[in-house]
Amino acid sequence: MGEFIKMTSTLQSLQKYLDKIKKEDGKINAFLQLNPNALQEAKAIDGKRQKGKLAGKIIAVKSNINVKGLNASCASKTLENYKATYDAYAIQKIKDEDGLIIGMTNMDEFASGSSGETSAFGPTRNPRNPSLIPGGSSSGSAAAVSADFCDMALGSETGGSVRNPASHCGVIGIKPSYGSVSRYGLIDLSMSLDQIGVFAKNIPDAGLLLDVIREKSEKDGIMERTEKINFNEIEKVPKNLTIGILDFPVGDESIENLIELKTNEAVAKYGWKTKKIKLSILDLAVETYYPLVYVEFFSGTRRFDGRRYGKKIEDSAGPEALRRILGGSEISKAEYHGRYYDKALKIKKLVEKEFENIFKSIDCLISPTVPKLPHKIGTKISVEEMYHYDALTIPANLAGNCAVSIPAGEIQGIPVGMQIICDKFQEQKMLQIARCFEKI
């Protein structure tokens, strides 16, 4: 009997989620496309004798990751009709382990945004409060997990695009260390920063998906380290930890208090020590990030010239993507003076150094994930305000460290995330610490 239940579980689970999507996604707009072959694929998985680690898990994928035969539109008119011709490496790994891809999710156009509002196909709404933004740019993936439309999801991170919407939607979001997940098949925003990341409803599931996609790929020269996660250890409380607490006035006292409360509870329960940490580069992070992104996005999008993928990006993309293209081309012209991109690269190195130093005396660094609560969909906010949603997430991208956002509680019914950053390639330790917080 037990065997029988297992045999039908992928299909049953898929059906349950498809019903829910049909009823509720009209309001949320988390998906841009459902996988037309999902039912067949679910049956094929259920019919296998030997099943992989992800058998029974239903996974949504951000629309900037190539899944063969599905539409990797990047939520842009530019790639509206582009069908992926191959699987990204992370997708190959998921399929090898019998994960089922339910569909492609909505996002900020070309992953450029922090609110989910720059999609060419309408904004995604926050399932926890549909009048609010879900965060971005992986808006649909976070919303799909939060709305219970799937078990897990893939997103991508350049400056916070997994952690930010995870925080606003009340789910787990992991940004892996740069060089630990293959970027093969991820459509770039900024290739020196981009990493595929994961969303899930709990740490063991998030760790499982991360572990599957963190395989070394010969197709990607950036791969550095990909140790396997030890799942027995995940449940163990790490001893003698020193928890770094970011000493930085976020400006929203209710968010600061909530994170402090949660941290104090954990520290008291597990007998950890704490240390206040000041980051000298914090004020520079956003200003360093954007020149890098503008220039790399400009350069990466030159292939969307209308010859191969249909539309020319300049004729078809929305204002935020165009701002970056225009900005990137201007910066590139001025670059022979070494003014912007070169300088930003130098500061990026300093951020790396500072992180290297602080992690000599602490095991993790804790802060709010996002410094403010999400705005109402459609509210006019300035470009600067939008860019500052990521003020606390960008440093880990610049340094290349791993980081996770976990739900810390709610303020006026709105989920608030706590960010835990660890040293490079310390995903195992990070998951253990996050699991301790999750259990409180």
Question: Is residue 367 annotated as a catalytic residue, yes or no?
Answer: no
For 332, residues 6+ apart whose C-beta sits below 8 A from its C-beta are: 295, 298, 299, 341
Span from 105-113, 255-263, 280-288, 364-372 in contact with ligand GLN (CB under 6 A): 105-113
What the block records as the tokens of 6 is 């297992």
Contact, 13 vs 152, CB < 8 A?
no
d(CA 44, CA 81): 28
Among positions 262-321, residues that touch ligand GLN (CB under 6 A) are: 293
Residue 63 is a binding residue for ligand GLN (CB under 6 A): no
Fill in the per-residue mask, 64 to 103: x = in contact with ligand GLN (CB under 6 A), - = not in contact: ----------------------------------------
Contact pick of 63, 92, 137, 301 for ligand GLN (by CB under 6 A):
137
d(CA 386, CA 319): 14
Contact pick of 141, 161, 217, 419 for ligand GLN (by CB under 6 A):
161
Contact pick of 99, 103, 140, 159 for ligand GLN (by CB under 6 A):
159
CB of 65 to ligand GLN, least distance (A): 12
Selecting among 76, 114, 137, 405, the annotated active-site residue is 137
CA angle (289, 170, 402) in 5-degree steps = 40
Selecting among 76, 161, 217, 367, the annotated active-site residue is 161
Backbone Cα Rg of the chain? 20
CB of 75 to ligand GLN, least distance (A): 12
CA-wise closest residue to 297 among 192, 400, 140, 383: 192
* CA within 13 Å, CB half, 164: 37
Amino acid 97 reads E
According to DSSP H, which parts of 335-372 are helical?
341-358
CB of 20 to ligand GLN, least distance (A): 27
Q: In what helix (H) or strand (E) does residue 367 lie, and over which residues does it extend? A: strand 364-368
Fill in the per-residue mask, 384 to 423: x = in contact with ligand GLN (CB under 6 A), - = not in contact: ------x---------------------------------
d(CA 83, CA 69): 5
The residue with its CB nearest to ligand GLN is 161
Contact, 427 vs 210, CB < 8 A?
yes
Span from 16-24, 44-52, 154-162, 359-367 in contact with ligand GLN (CB under 6 A): 154-162
How far from chain centre, in Å, is Cα 21?
Answer: 21
89-99 burial: b if 16+ Cβ within 10 Å, else e: bbbbbbbebbb
CB of 160 to ligand GLN, least distance (A): 5
Looking up tokens 């970011």 gives 246
Contact pick of 54, 84, 94, 189 for ligand GLN (by CB under 6 A):
189
Question: Is residue 192 annotated as a catalytic residue, yes or no?
Answer: no
Residue 112 is a binding residue for ligand GLN (CB under 6 A): yes
Residue 196 is a binding residue for ligand GLN (CB under 6 A): no
CB of 232 to ligand GLN, least distance (A): 32
Paired sense of beta strands 152-157 and 58-62, if any: parallel
Contact pick of 18, 32, 104, 111 for ligand GLN (by CB under 6 A):
111
Question: Is residue 62 annotated as a catalytic residue, yes or no?
Answer: yes
Q: What is the total count of residues that contact ligand GLN (CB under 6 A)?
A: 14
What the block records as the tokens of 103 is 């569909």
Interface residues with ligand GLN (CB under 6 A) are 111-114, 137, 156-161, 189, 293, 390
Indicate which residues carry an active-site annotation: 62, 137, 161
